Structure 1
Amino acid sequence: MHYVKAKSILSKNNGMNLYRGCTHGCIYCDSRSNVYNMQHDFEDIEVKENSLDLLKKALQKKKEKCMIGTGSMTDPYIPLESELEYIRKTLKLIHRYGHGFTCITKSDLVLKDLDLLKKINDESKVVIQMTLTCMDDEISRLIEPNVCPTSRRIEVLEILKQENIPTVVWLCPILPYITDTKENISSIIDACIKADVKGIICFGMGMTLRDGNREYYYKKLEENFPGIKEVYEKEFGDSYSISSPNNKELMKVFYQKTNEHKIMNKPDEIFEYLHDYPKKRKSKQTTLF
Protein backbone atom coordinates (compact mmCIF):
# COMPACT_ATOMS: atom_id res chain seq x y z
CA MET A 1 0.00 0.00 0.00
CA HIS A 2 1.11 3.54 -0.71
CA TYR A 3 -0.54 6.96 -0.64
CA VAL A 4 -0.84 9.58 -3.39
CA LYS A 5 -2.41 13.01 -3.65
CA ALA A 6 -5.18 13.14 -6.25
CA LYS A 7 -6.08 16.27 -8.24
CA SER A 8 -9.72 15.30 -8.59
CA ILE A 9 -11.98 12.41 -7.64
CA LEU A 10 -15.21 12.44 -9.66
CA SER A 11 -15.31 11.84 -13.42
CA LYS A 12 -17.74 13.70 -15.67
CA ASN A 13 -20.11 10.75 -15.25
CA ASN A 14 -19.80 10.89 -11.44
CA GLY A 15 -17.64 7.80 -11.17
CA MET A 16 -14.66 7.49 -8.85
CA ASN A 17 -11.95 5.12 -7.70
CA LEU A 18 -10.57 5.63 -4.21
CA TYR A 19 -8.06 2.84 -4.70
CA ARG A 20 -5.92 1.77 -7.66
CA GLY A 21 -4.68 -1.79 -7.96
CA CYS A 22 -6.25 -4.86 -6.41
CA THR A 23 -5.44 -7.89 -4.26
CA HIS A 24 -8.35 -10.14 -5.29
CA GLY A 25 -5.98 -11.91 -7.68
CA CYS A 26 -8.54 -12.51 -10.45
CA ILE A 27 -6.53 -14.08 -13.26
CA TYR A 28 -8.47 -12.32 -16.04
CA CYS A 29 -8.43 -8.75 -14.72
CA ASP A 30 -8.32 -6.16 -17.52
CA SER A 31 -7.14 -3.50 -15.07
CA ARG A 32 -3.68 -5.07 -15.27
CA SER A 33 -3.43 -3.96 -18.91
CA ASN A 34 -0.51 -1.72 -19.87
CA VAL A 35 -2.92 0.77 -21.42
CA TYR A 36 -3.79 2.05 -17.92
CA ASN A 37 -0.17 3.07 -17.36
CA MET A 38 -0.01 1.91 -13.75
CA GLN A 39 3.36 2.91 -12.35
CA HIS A 40 3.39 0.44 -9.46
CA ASP A 41 2.86 -3.26 -8.84
CA PHE A 42 -0.79 -4.17 -9.28
CA GLU A 43 -1.02 -5.65 -5.78
CA ASP A 44 0.60 -2.55 -4.23
CA ILE A 45 -2.62 -0.62 -3.63
CA GLU A 46 -2.50 3.06 -4.43
CA VAL A 47 -4.66 4.99 -1.95
CA LYS A 48 -5.86 8.47 -2.81
CA GLU A 49 -5.38 9.93 0.64
CA ASN A 50 -7.19 13.22 -0.07
CA SER A 51 -10.10 11.59 -1.91
CA LEU A 52 -12.63 12.18 0.87
CA ASP A 53 -11.88 15.91 1.03
CA LEU A 54 -12.13 16.12 -2.77
CA LEU A 55 -15.41 14.23 -2.76
CA LYS A 56 -16.91 16.44 -0.04
CA LYS A 57 -16.10 19.57 -2.04
CA ALA A 58 -17.44 18.03 -5.24
CA LEU A 59 -20.72 16.98 -3.64
CA GLN A 60 -21.17 20.39 -2.02
CA LYS A 61 -20.86 22.07 -5.42
CA LYS A 62 -23.29 19.81 -7.29
CA LYS A 63 -26.45 21.64 -8.26
CA GLU A 64 -28.36 18.44 -9.01
CA LYS A 65 -28.45 15.20 -7.10
CA CYS A 66 -27.01 12.18 -8.90
CA MET A 67 -25.79 8.62 -8.59
CA ILE A 68 -22.18 8.31 -7.42
CA GLY A 69 -20.47 5.17 -8.69
CA THR A 70 -17.27 3.27 -8.02
CA GLY A 71 -15.58 0.00 -8.90
CA SER A 72 -14.90 0.29 -12.62
CA MET A 73 -11.12 -0.01 -12.19
CA THR A 74 -10.71 -1.38 -8.67
CA ASP A 75 -13.18 -3.29 -6.53
CA PRO A 76 -13.97 -0.85 -3.69
CA TYR A 77 -14.26 -3.71 -1.22
CA ILE A 78 -10.71 -5.00 -1.33
CA PRO A 79 -9.48 -6.29 2.08
CA LEU A 80 -7.72 -2.98 2.74
CA GLU A 81 -11.13 -1.31 2.97
CA SER A 82 -11.75 -3.10 6.27
CA GLU A 83 -8.81 -1.16 7.71
CA LEU A 84 -9.14 2.24 6.01
CA GLU A 85 -12.94 2.43 5.58
CA TYR A 86 -12.71 4.93 2.73
CA ILE A 87 -15.88 3.58 1.13
CA ARG A 88 -17.75 3.71 4.43
CA LYS A 89 -16.70 7.35 4.90
CA THR A 90 -17.72 8.00 1.30
CA LEU A 91 -21.17 6.56 1.97
CA LYS A 92 -21.58 8.90 4.93
CA LEU A 93 -20.82 11.87 2.67
CA ILE A 94 -23.18 10.63 -0.02
CA HIS A 95 -25.94 10.26 2.56
CA ARG A 96 -25.24 13.68 4.08
CA TYR A 97 -25.51 15.45 0.74
CA GLY A 98 -28.47 13.46 -0.52
CA HIS A 99 -27.01 11.58 -3.49
CA GLY A 100 -27.42 7.97 -4.60
CA PHE A 101 -24.80 5.24 -4.75
CA THR A 102 -23.82 2.28 -6.91
CA CYS A 103 -20.72 0.10 -6.96
CA ILE A 104 -19.29 -2.94 -8.72
CA THR A 105 -17.87 -5.61 -6.42
CA LYS A 106 -17.38 -9.32 -5.97
CA SER A 107 -16.83 -9.14 -2.22
CA ASP A 108 -19.10 -9.85 0.73
CA LEU A 109 -17.42 -6.96 2.56
CA VAL A 110 -20.17 -4.82 1.06
CA LEU A 111 -22.42 -6.15 3.84
CA LYS A 112 -20.39 -4.35 6.50
CA ASP A 113 -21.89 -1.12 5.16
CA LEU A 114 -25.42 -2.45 4.95
CA ASP A 115 -26.64 0.05 7.56
CA LEU A 116 -25.52 3.02 5.45
CA LEU A 117 -26.66 1.47 2.19
CA LYS A 118 -30.14 1.06 3.66
CA LYS A 119 -30.22 4.68 4.84
CA ILE A 120 -29.24 5.98 1.40
CA ASN A 121 -31.66 3.66 -0.36
CA ASP A 122 -34.50 4.70 1.95
CA GLU A 123 -34.04 8.32 0.91
CA SER A 124 -32.74 8.13 -2.66
CA LYS A 125 -31.32 5.07 -4.46
CA VAL A 126 -28.68 2.36 -4.10
CA VAL A 127 -27.82 -0.35 -6.61
CA ILE A 128 -25.19 -2.96 -5.81
CA GLN A 129 -23.56 -4.56 -8.84
CA MET A 130 -22.10 -8.02 -8.26
CA THR A 131 -19.78 -9.89 -10.61
CA LEU A 132 -20.55 -13.59 -11.14
CA THR A 133 -18.45 -15.69 -13.48
CA CYS A 134 -18.51 -19.31 -12.30
CA MET A 135 -20.96 -21.34 -10.21
CA ASP A 136 -18.36 -23.98 -9.37
CA ASP A 137 -16.68 -22.70 -6.20
CA GLU A 138 -13.57 -24.80 -6.80
CA ILE A 139 -13.01 -23.20 -10.21
CA SER A 140 -14.01 -19.83 -8.79
CA ARG A 141 -11.19 -20.12 -6.25
CA LEU A 142 -8.73 -20.75 -9.07
CA ILE A 143 -9.78 -17.80 -11.23
CA GLU A 144 -10.68 -15.39 -8.39
CA PRO A 145 -8.48 -16.73 -5.56
CA ASN A 146 -8.52 -13.98 -2.94
CA VAL A 147 -12.19 -13.09 -2.81
CA CYS A 148 -15.28 -14.89 -1.56
CA PRO A 149 -16.55 -17.66 -3.87
CA THR A 150 -19.65 -17.38 -6.02
CA SER A 151 -21.87 -19.19 -3.52
CA ARG A 152 -21.17 -16.46 -0.95
CA ARG A 153 -21.80 -13.69 -3.49
CA ILE A 154 -25.18 -15.22 -4.21
CA GLU A 155 -25.91 -15.18 -0.48
CA VAL A 156 -25.06 -11.46 -0.53
CA LEU A 157 -27.55 -10.92 -3.38
CA GLU A 158 -30.22 -12.72 -1.35
CA ILE A 159 -29.51 -10.57 1.71
CA LEU A 160 -29.71 -7.39 -0.35
CA LYS A 161 -33.01 -8.61 -1.79
CA GLN A 162 -34.38 -9.06 1.74
CA GLU A 163 -33.29 -5.50 2.55
CA ASN A 164 -34.99 -4.15 -0.61
CA ILE A 165 -31.70 -2.97 -2.12
CA PRO A 166 -31.71 -3.39 -5.92
CA THR A 167 -28.97 -5.45 -7.53
CA VAL A 168 -27.42 -5.91 -10.97
CA VAL A 169 -25.13 -8.77 -11.97
CA TRP A 170 -22.15 -8.62 -14.33
CA LEU A 171 -22.04 -11.94 -16.18
CA CYS A 172 -18.50 -11.47 -17.39
CA PRO A 173 -15.91 -12.39 -18.23
CA ILE A 174 -16.75 -15.87 -19.43
CA LEU A 175 -13.53 -17.79 -19.98
CA PRO A 176 -13.44 -19.92 -23.16
CA TYR A 177 -12.93 -23.62 -22.46
CA ILE A 178 -13.22 -23.02 -18.70
CA THR A 179 -16.55 -21.41 -17.72
CA ASP A 180 -18.34 -21.28 -21.10
CA THR A 181 -20.75 -24.15 -20.49
CA LYS A 182 -24.54 -24.19 -20.66
CA GLU A 183 -24.65 -25.60 -17.14
CA ASN A 184 -22.59 -22.72 -15.74
CA ILE A 185 -24.48 -19.95 -17.51
CA SER A 186 -27.90 -21.42 -16.73
CA SER A 187 -27.01 -21.89 -13.06
CA ILE A 188 -25.82 -18.31 -12.68
CA ILE A 189 -28.95 -16.92 -14.32
CA ASP A 190 -31.18 -19.16 -12.20
CA ALA A 191 -29.47 -17.78 -9.08
CA CYS A 192 -30.07 -14.25 -10.38
CA ILE A 193 -33.73 -15.03 -10.94
CA LYS A 194 -34.07 -16.32 -7.38
CA ALA A 195 -32.32 -13.23 -6.03
CA ASP A 196 -34.64 -10.98 -8.07
CA VAL A 197 -31.83 -9.00 -9.70
CA LYS A 198 -32.92 -6.04 -11.81
CA GLY A 199 -30.56 -6.69 -14.69
CA ILE A 200 -27.71 -8.86 -15.95
CA ILE A 201 -24.93 -7.20 -17.93
CA CYS A 202 -23.44 -9.44 -20.61
CA PHE A 203 -21.44 -8.33 -23.65
CA GLY A 204 -21.27 -11.81 -25.12
CA MET A 205 -19.72 -15.01 -23.87
CA GLY A 206 -16.02 -14.23 -23.89
CA MET A 207 -13.38 -11.94 -22.47
CA THR A 208 -10.78 -9.31 -23.30
CA LEU A 209 -7.03 -9.85 -23.41
CA ARG A 210 -4.47 -7.17 -24.08
CA ASP A 211 -0.86 -6.49 -23.27
CA GLY A 212 -0.28 -6.67 -19.55
CA ASN A 213 -3.21 -8.82 -18.53
CA ARG A 214 -2.69 -11.37 -21.31
CA GLU A 215 0.72 -12.39 -19.97
CA TYR A 216 -0.58 -12.73 -16.41
CA TYR A 217 -3.64 -14.69 -17.57
CA TYR A 218 -1.55 -17.12 -19.62
CA LYS A 219 0.80 -17.67 -16.69
CA LYS A 220 -2.14 -18.60 -14.48
CA LEU A 221 -3.60 -20.85 -17.17
CA GLU A 222 -0.36 -22.82 -17.21
CA GLU A 223 -0.48 -23.16 -13.41
CA ASN A 224 -4.14 -24.10 -13.04
CA PHE A 225 -5.45 -25.35 -16.40
CA PRO A 226 -2.69 -27.28 -18.21
CA GLY A 227 -3.01 -27.29 -21.99
CA ILE A 228 -5.52 -24.44 -22.24
CA LYS A 229 -2.89 -21.76 -22.93
CA GLU A 230 -1.83 -23.50 -26.12
CA VAL A 231 -5.45 -23.65 -27.28
CA TYR A 232 -5.81 -19.91 -26.70
CA GLU A 233 -2.60 -19.08 -28.55
CA LYS A 234 -3.63 -21.17 -31.54
CA GLU A 235 -7.24 -20.02 -31.71
CA PHE A 236 -7.08 -16.39 -30.58
CA GLY A 237 -3.51 -15.21 -31.16
CA ASP A 238 -3.09 -11.63 -29.95
CA SER A 239 -6.77 -10.70 -30.32
CA TYR A 240 -8.08 -8.17 -27.84
CA SER A 241 -11.65 -9.48 -27.70
CA ILE A 242 -12.07 -13.25 -27.75
CA SER A 243 -15.33 -15.14 -27.97
CA SER A 244 -16.32 -18.58 -26.74
CA PRO A 245 -16.98 -21.14 -29.47
CA ASN A 246 -20.27 -21.67 -27.60
CA ASN A 247 -21.21 -17.98 -27.75
CA LYS A 248 -24.27 -18.35 -30.00
CA GLU A 249 -25.79 -21.18 -27.97
CA LEU A 250 -25.06 -19.52 -24.62
CA MET A 251 -26.42 -16.13 -25.65
CA LYS A 252 -29.62 -17.85 -26.72
CA VAL A 253 -29.92 -19.29 -23.21
CA PHE A 254 -29.14 -15.88 -21.73
CA TYR A 255 -31.85 -14.04 -23.67
CA GLN A 256 -34.47 -16.75 -23.24
CA LYS A 257 -34.12 -16.88 -19.47
CA THR A 258 -33.81 -13.14 -18.86
CA ASN A 259 -36.70 -12.27 -21.18
CA GLU A 260 -38.90 -14.92 -19.61
CA HIS A 261 -38.32 -13.50 -16.14
CA LYS A 262 -38.35 -9.84 -17.20
CA ILE A 263 -34.76 -9.18 -16.17
CA MET A 264 -33.09 -6.31 -18.02
CA ASN A 265 -30.52 -7.72 -20.44
CA LYS A 266 -29.50 -4.82 -22.68
CA PRO A 267 -26.36 -3.06 -21.37
CA ASP A 268 -27.50 0.42 -22.45
CA GLU A 269 -30.82 -0.04 -20.67
CA ILE A 270 -29.09 -1.21 -17.50
CA PHE A 271 -26.55 1.63 -17.55
CA GLU A 272 -29.41 4.11 -17.92
CA TYR A 273 -31.06 2.54 -14.88
CA LEU A 274 -27.81 2.73 -12.89
CA HIS A 275 -27.30 6.42 -13.68
CA ASP A 276 -30.92 7.45 -13.24
CA TYR A 277 -31.41 9.36 -9.98
CA PRO A 278 -35.00 9.53 -8.65
CA LYS A 279 -36.52 12.89 -9.57
CA LYS A 280 -38.25 12.96 -6.23
CA ARG A 281 -36.44 11.77 -3.15
CA LYS A 282 -38.25 9.08 -1.23
CA SER A 283 -40.21 10.44 1.70
CA LYS A 284 -39.67 8.79 5.03
CA GLN A 285 -42.72 6.88 6.22
CA THR A 286 -44.33 8.06 9.42
CA THR A 287 -46.80 6.28 11.66
CA LEU A 288 -49.67 8.17 13.25
CA PHE A 289 -50.92 7.09 16.65
Structure 2
Amino acid sequence: MHYVKAKGIFTSDYGINLYRGCTHGCIYCDSRSAVYNINHKFEDIEVKENAVELLKKELIKRKPCMIGTGAMTDPYIPLEKRLEYVRKSLKLVYRYGFGWACITKSDLVLRDIDLLKKINEKTKAVVQITLTTADDDLCRMIEPNVCATSRRVEVLQRLKEENIPTVVWLCPLLPHINATEENINALLDFCIDAEVKGVLNMGMGLSLREGNREYFYEQLDKSFPGLKERYIEEYGDSYFIHSRDDRRLRKILRNRCDEHGIMHNQDEIFSYLHEFPEKSVQSKLL
Protein backbone atom coordinates (compact mmCIF):
# COMPACT_ATOMS: atom_id res chain seq x y z
CA MET A 1 0.00 0.00 0.00
CA HIS A 2 1.15 3.52 -0.74
CA TYR A 3 -0.49 6.94 -0.66
CA VAL A 4 -0.79 9.54 -3.41
CA LYS A 5 -2.40 12.97 -3.66
CA ALA A 6 -5.10 12.99 -6.32
CA LYS A 7 -5.87 16.06 -8.41
CA GLY A 8 -9.47 15.06 -9.09
CA ILE A 9 -11.98 12.43 -8.07
CA PHE A 10 -14.65 12.11 -10.79
CA THR A 11 -14.45 10.40 -14.15
CA SER A 12 -16.51 11.85 -17.01
CA ASP A 13 -19.60 9.85 -15.99
CA TYR A 14 -19.42 10.54 -12.23
CA GLY A 15 -17.43 7.45 -11.41
CA ILE A 16 -14.89 7.44 -8.59
CA ASN A 17 -11.91 5.22 -7.84
CA LEU A 18 -10.71 5.52 -4.27
CA TYR A 19 -7.99 2.93 -4.82
CA ARG A 20 -5.88 1.72 -7.77
CA GLY A 21 -4.76 -1.88 -7.88
CA CYS A 22 -6.34 -4.92 -6.26
CA THR A 23 -5.49 -7.94 -4.13
CA HIS A 24 -8.40 -10.21 -5.14
CA GLY A 25 -6.05 -12.04 -7.53
CA CYS A 26 -8.64 -12.72 -10.26
CA ILE A 27 -6.72 -14.39 -13.07
CA TYR A 28 -8.57 -12.58 -15.87
CA CYS A 29 -8.55 -8.99 -14.53
CA ASP A 30 -8.57 -6.44 -17.35
CA SER A 31 -7.46 -3.70 -14.95
CA ARG A 32 -3.95 -5.14 -15.17
CA SER A 33 -3.80 -4.00 -18.80
CA ALA A 34 -0.93 -1.65 -19.66
CA VAL A 35 -3.38 0.83 -21.20
CA TYR A 36 -4.42 1.95 -17.69
CA ASN A 37 -0.88 3.10 -16.82
CA ILE A 38 -0.72 1.64 -13.34
CA ASN A 39 2.95 2.29 -12.70
CA HIS A 40 3.31 0.14 -9.62
CA LYS A 41 2.86 -3.50 -8.71
CA PHE A 42 -0.85 -4.22 -9.12
CA GLU A 43 -1.12 -5.70 -5.62
CA ASP A 44 0.56 -2.64 -4.08
CA ILE A 45 -2.63 -0.64 -3.62
CA GLU A 46 -2.45 3.04 -4.46
CA VAL A 47 -4.59 4.92 -1.94
CA LYS A 48 -5.83 8.39 -2.86
CA GLU A 49 -5.33 9.91 0.56
CA ASN A 50 -7.37 13.03 -0.24
CA ALA A 51 -10.16 11.21 -2.10
CA VAL A 52 -12.86 11.73 0.52
CA GLU A 53 -11.99 15.42 0.86
CA LEU A 54 -12.14 15.86 -2.93
CA LEU A 55 -15.46 14.03 -3.09
CA LYS A 56 -17.00 16.31 -0.47
CA LYS A 57 -15.91 19.43 -2.39
CA GLU A 58 -17.47 18.08 -5.59
CA LEU A 59 -20.74 16.96 -4.02
CA ILE A 60 -21.30 20.33 -2.36
CA LYS A 61 -21.25 22.17 -5.68
CA ARG A 62 -22.94 19.66 -8.01
CA LYS A 63 -26.53 18.74 -8.71
CA PRO A 64 -27.38 15.32 -7.22
CA CYS A 65 -26.96 12.34 -9.54
CA MET A 66 -25.81 8.73 -9.39
CA ILE A 67 -22.22 8.15 -8.23
CA GLY A 68 -20.55 4.92 -9.31
CA THR A 69 -17.48 3.00 -8.19
CA GLY A 70 -15.84 -0.34 -8.90
CA ALA A 71 -15.23 -0.13 -12.64
CA MET A 72 -11.45 -0.24 -12.26
CA THR A 73 -10.85 -1.47 -8.71
CA ASP A 74 -13.20 -3.36 -6.43
CA PRO A 75 -13.98 -0.77 -3.73
CA TYR A 76 -14.24 -3.49 -1.10
CA ILE A 77 -10.68 -4.76 -1.18
CA PRO A 78 -9.48 -5.96 2.27
CA LEU A 79 -7.73 -2.63 2.87
CA GLU A 80 -11.14 -0.91 2.92
CA LYS A 81 -12.00 -2.74 6.13
CA ARG A 82 -9.36 -0.66 7.92
CA LEU A 83 -9.37 2.62 5.95
CA GLU A 84 -13.16 2.91 5.41
CA TYR A 85 -12.84 5.25 2.42
CA VAL A 86 -15.95 3.73 0.86
CA ARG A 87 -17.96 4.06 4.04
CA LYS A 88 -16.88 7.70 4.45
CA SER A 89 -17.86 8.33 0.84
CA LEU A 90 -21.26 6.72 1.38
CA LYS A 91 -21.90 9.03 4.32
CA LEU A 92 -21.21 12.03 2.09
CA VAL A 93 -23.35 10.64 -0.73
CA TYR A 94 -26.24 10.23 1.70
CA ARG A 95 -25.70 13.63 3.32
CA TYR A 96 -25.79 15.52 0.03
CA GLY A 97 -28.63 13.54 -1.54
CA PHE A 98 -26.78 11.63 -4.27
CA GLY A 99 -27.38 8.07 -5.47
CA TRP A 100 -24.88 5.21 -5.37
CA ALA A 101 -23.97 2.24 -7.57
CA CYS A 102 -21.01 0.00 -6.84
CA ILE A 103 -19.51 -3.16 -8.34
CA THR A 104 -17.93 -5.73 -6.04
CA LYS A 105 -17.16 -9.39 -5.43
CA SER A 106 -16.80 -8.92 -1.68
CA ASP A 107 -19.17 -9.58 1.19
CA LEU A 108 -17.66 -6.55 2.93
CA VAL A 109 -20.40 -4.56 1.20
CA LEU A 110 -22.75 -5.87 3.91
CA ARG A 111 -20.88 -3.76 6.45
CA ASP A 112 -22.42 -0.70 4.80
CA ILE A 113 -25.96 -2.00 4.44
CA ASP A 114 -27.21 0.63 6.91
CA LEU A 115 -26.02 3.46 4.66
CA LEU A 116 -27.19 1.72 1.48
CA LYS A 117 -30.67 1.47 2.99
CA LYS A 118 -30.66 5.15 3.93
CA ILE A 119 -29.55 6.21 0.44
CA ASN A 120 -32.15 3.93 -1.10
CA GLU A 121 -34.86 5.60 0.97
CA LYS A 122 -33.84 9.02 -0.40
CA THR A 123 -32.84 8.18 -3.95
CA LYS A 124 -31.31 4.91 -5.17
CA ALA A 125 -28.50 2.60 -4.10
CA VAL A 126 -27.68 -0.32 -6.39
CA VAL A 127 -25.20 -3.06 -5.59
CA GLN A 128 -23.69 -4.93 -8.52
CA ILE A 129 -22.18 -8.33 -7.76
CA THR A 130 -19.89 -10.24 -10.11
CA LEU A 131 -20.62 -13.96 -10.51
CA THR A 132 -18.48 -16.10 -12.80
CA THR A 133 -18.87 -19.69 -11.68
CA ALA A 134 -21.35 -21.64 -9.58
CA ASP A 135 -18.57 -23.99 -8.46
CA ASP A 136 -16.87 -22.67 -5.31
CA ASP A 137 -13.76 -24.76 -5.90
CA LEU A 138 -13.34 -23.33 -9.39
CA CYS A 139 -14.11 -19.87 -8.03
CA ARG A 140 -11.19 -20.18 -5.62
CA MET A 141 -8.93 -21.01 -8.56
CA ILE A 142 -9.88 -18.07 -10.78
CA GLU A 143 -10.73 -15.54 -8.02
CA PRO A 144 -8.53 -16.78 -5.17
CA ASN A 145 -8.50 -13.94 -2.64
CA VAL A 146 -12.15 -12.94 -2.36
CA CYS A 147 -15.26 -14.65 -1.01
CA ALA A 148 -16.56 -17.58 -3.06
CA THR A 149 -19.72 -17.58 -5.15
CA SER A 150 -21.89 -19.19 -2.48
CA ARG A 151 -21.13 -16.29 -0.14
CA ARG A 152 -21.86 -13.72 -2.87
CA VAL A 153 -25.22 -15.39 -3.40
CA GLU A 154 -25.89 -14.94 0.33
CA VAL A 155 -25.05 -11.25 -0.11
CA LEU A 156 -27.58 -11.00 -2.96
CA GLN A 157 -30.22 -12.62 -0.79
CA ARG A 158 -29.52 -10.25 2.10
CA LEU A 159 -29.77 -7.24 -0.18
CA LYS A 160 -33.05 -8.59 -1.52
CA GLU A 161 -34.38 -8.83 2.05
CA GLU A 162 -33.43 -5.19 2.61
CA ASN A 163 -35.07 -4.07 -0.67
CA ILE A 164 -31.77 -2.87 -2.11
CA PRO A 165 -31.77 -3.44 -5.89
CA THR A 166 -29.04 -5.59 -7.38
CA VAL A 167 -27.48 -6.25 -10.77
CA VAL A 168 -25.26 -9.23 -11.51
CA TRP A 169 -22.26 -9.01 -13.81
CA LEU A 170 -22.25 -12.53 -15.25
CA CYS A 171 -18.79 -12.28 -16.72
CA PRO A 172 -16.20 -13.08 -17.72
CA LEU A 173 -17.05 -16.55 -18.92
CA LEU A 174 -13.74 -18.19 -19.82
CA PRO A 175 -13.71 -20.58 -22.80
CA HIS A 176 -12.94 -24.17 -21.78
CA ILE A 177 -13.28 -23.22 -18.08
CA ASN A 178 -16.63 -21.72 -17.06
CA ALA A 179 -18.30 -20.79 -20.37
CA THR A 180 -20.68 -23.74 -20.21
CA GLU A 181 -24.45 -24.16 -20.38
CA GLU A 182 -24.47 -25.91 -17.00
CA ASN A 183 -22.60 -23.07 -15.30
CA ILE A 184 -24.66 -20.31 -16.89
CA ASN A 185 -27.94 -21.96 -15.93
CA ALA A 186 -26.74 -22.45 -12.36
CA LEU A 187 -25.71 -18.80 -12.08
CA LEU A 188 -29.02 -17.68 -13.57
CA ASP A 189 -30.84 -19.81 -11.00
CA PHE A 190 -29.09 -17.75 -8.29
CA CYS A 191 -30.05 -14.51 -10.03
CA ILE A 192 -33.69 -15.51 -10.42
CA ASP A 193 -33.97 -16.58 -6.79
CA ALA A 194 -32.40 -13.31 -5.64
CA GLU A 195 -34.78 -11.31 -7.87
CA VAL A 196 -31.97 -9.25 -9.37
CA LYS A 197 -32.93 -6.26 -11.54
CA GLY A 198 -30.52 -7.12 -14.33
CA VAL A 199 -27.91 -9.56 -15.57
CA LEU A 200 -25.06 -7.94 -17.46
CA ASN A 201 -23.03 -10.07 -19.83
CA MET A 202 -20.49 -8.65 -22.30
CA GLY A 203 -20.24 -11.86 -24.29
CA MET A 204 -19.18 -15.40 -23.53
CA GLY A 205 -15.47 -14.76 -23.28
CA LEU A 206 -12.93 -12.28 -21.95
CA SER A 207 -10.69 -9.45 -23.06
CA LEU A 208 -6.93 -9.95 -23.28
CA ARG A 209 -4.34 -7.31 -24.02
CA GLU A 210 -0.83 -6.35 -22.96
CA GLY A 211 -0.53 -6.60 -19.20
CA ASN A 212 -3.44 -8.83 -18.35
CA ARG A 213 -2.75 -11.35 -21.14
CA GLU A 214 0.64 -12.29 -19.70
CA TYR A 215 -0.76 -12.63 -16.17
CA PHE A 216 -3.71 -14.69 -17.39
CA TYR A 217 -1.49 -17.11 -19.29
CA GLU A 218 0.85 -17.41 -16.32
CA GLN A 219 -2.08 -18.40 -14.12
CA LEU A 220 -3.39 -20.86 -16.73
CA ASP A 221 0.00 -22.59 -16.66
CA LYS A 222 -0.28 -22.92 -12.88
CA SER A 223 -3.88 -24.10 -12.61
CA PHE A 224 -4.88 -25.39 -16.06
CA PRO A 225 -1.78 -26.95 -17.66
CA GLY A 226 -1.92 -27.03 -21.46
CA LEU A 227 -4.82 -24.59 -21.75
CA LYS A 228 -2.62 -21.60 -22.58
CA GLU A 229 -1.43 -23.33 -25.73
CA ARG A 230 -5.01 -24.07 -26.71
CA TYR A 231 -5.93 -20.40 -26.29
CA ILE A 232 -2.97 -19.29 -28.39
CA GLU A 233 -3.83 -21.79 -31.11
CA GLU A 234 -7.53 -20.84 -31.20
CA TYR A 235 -7.39 -17.10 -30.62
CA GLY A 236 -3.88 -15.86 -31.38
CA ASP A 237 -3.50 -12.29 -30.07
CA SER A 238 -7.18 -11.33 -30.40
CA TYR A 239 -8.39 -8.63 -28.02
CA PHE A 240 -11.72 -10.26 -27.15
CA ILE A 241 -11.72 -14.03 -26.81
CA HIS A 242 -15.17 -15.36 -27.73
CA SER A 243 -16.29 -18.84 -26.78
CA ARG A 244 -17.06 -20.89 -29.88
CA ASP A 245 -20.45 -21.46 -28.24
CA ASP A 246 -21.09 -17.74 -27.69
CA ARG A 247 -24.28 -17.37 -29.74
CA ARG A 248 -26.07 -20.37 -28.22
CA LEU A 249 -25.07 -19.52 -24.65
CA ARG A 250 -26.14 -15.89 -24.99
CA LYS A 251 -29.51 -17.04 -26.31
CA ILE A 252 -29.98 -19.19 -23.20
CA LEU A 253 -29.21 -16.17 -21.03
CA ARG A 254 -31.59 -13.89 -22.92
CA ASN A 255 -34.44 -16.39 -22.91
CA ARG A 256 -34.21 -17.14 -19.21
CA CYS A 257 -33.96 -13.46 -18.29
CA ASP A 258 -36.97 -12.62 -20.45
CA GLU A 259 -38.92 -15.44 -18.86
CA HIS A 260 -38.35 -13.98 -15.39
CA GLY A 261 -38.54 -10.28 -16.19
CA ILE A 262 -34.83 -9.59 -15.66
CA MET A 263 -33.11 -6.90 -17.71
CA HIS A 264 -30.27 -8.16 -19.91
CA ASN A 265 -29.83 -5.48 -22.56
CA GLN A 266 -26.63 -3.56 -21.79
CA ASP A 267 -28.01 -0.16 -22.74
CA GLU A 268 -31.12 -0.70 -20.63
CA ILE A 269 -29.09 -1.77 -17.60
CA PHE A 270 -26.62 1.11 -17.85
CA SER A 271 -29.51 3.53 -18.30
CA TYR A 272 -31.06 2.15 -15.11
CA LEU A 273 -27.77 2.46 -13.22
CA HIS A 274 -27.37 6.11 -14.24
CA GLU A 275 -31.00 7.09 -13.75
CA PHE A 276 -31.30 9.32 -10.70
CA PRO A 277 -34.74 9.23 -9.03
CA GLU A 278 -35.72 12.10 -6.79
CA LYS A 279 -38.17 10.27 -4.55
CA SER A 280 -39.42 13.41 -2.90
CA VAL A 281 -38.52 17.05 -2.37
CA GLN A 282 -38.75 16.45 1.35
CA SER A 283 -36.10 13.73 1.22
CA LYS A 284 -33.49 16.33 0.25
CA LEU A 285 -34.11 18.13 3.50
CA LEU A 286 -33.63 15.11 5.74
TM-score tier by shorter-chain length is over 0.9
1:112-191 → structure 2 map (5 Å cutoff): 112-191=111-190
Runs of 4+ in 1 over 6 A off after TM superposition: none
Letter aligned with residue 30 of structure 1: D
**1:229 CA displacement:** 0.7
Determine what percentage of the aligned residue pairs are the same residue. 63
The aligned length equals 283
Distance 2:83 2:245 in 1: 43
Are the equivalent residues in 2 in contact too, given 1:122–1:282 (CA < 8 A)? no
**1:249 CA displacement:** 1.5
Q: Secondary structure of the residue that 1:226 maps to in structure 2?
A: coil
1:16 corresponds in structure 2 to: 16
Cα distance per residue 1:228-279 (max 9 Å; x no partner): 1110010011111010111122111101100101100001100000000003
1:204 corresponds in structure 2 to: 203
Distance 1:235 1:283 in 2: 59
Are the equivalent residues in 1 in contact too, given 2:181–2:249 (CA < 8 A)? yes
Letter aligned with residue 181 of structure 1: T
1:213 and 2:212 equivalent? yes
2:5 corresponds in structure 1 to: 5
In structure 2, list runs of 5 or more residues that go unmatched.
Answer: none
Distance 2:69 2:280 in 1: 22
Cα distance per residue 1:211-241 (max 9 Å; x no partner): 1000000000010011111100100111110
2:57 corresponds in structure 1 to: 57
Are the equivalent residues in 2 in contact too, given 1:123–1:282 (CA < 8 A)? no
Q: Secondary structure of the residue that 1:188 maps to in structure 2?
A: helix
Cα distance per residue 1:163-209 (max 9 Å; x no partner): 00000000111000000110000010111000000001112111100
**1:281 CA displacement:** 3.4
Distance 2:105 2:281 in 1: 28
Letter aligned with residue 92 of structure 1: K
Distance 2:258 2:41 in 1: 42
Q: Secondary structure of the residue that 1:187 maps to in structure 2?
A: helix
TM score, norm. by length of structure 2: 0.97
TM score, norm. by length of structure 1: 0.96
Letter aligned with residue 38 of structure 1: I
Distance 1:270 1:57 in 2: 29
How well do the aligned residues superpose, as a CA RMSD in angstroms? 1.0
**1:54 CA displacement:** 0.4
Letter aligned with residue 57 of structure 2: K
Distance 1:12 1:140 in 2: 33
Letter aligned with residue 59 of structure 2: L
Q: Which segment drifts farther, 7-16 or 69-78?
A: 7-16
Distance 2:125 2:12 in 1: 20
1:250-261 → structure 2 map (5 Å cutoff): 250-261=249-260
Letter aligned with residue 233 of structure 1: I
Letter aligned with residue 31 of structure 1: S
Name the CA shift for 1:222/1:95 in 2 (closer, same or farther; >3 Å): same
In structure 1, list runs of 5 or more residues that go unmatched.
Answer: 285-289
1:272 corresponds in structure 2 to: 271
1:222 and 2:221 equivalent? yes
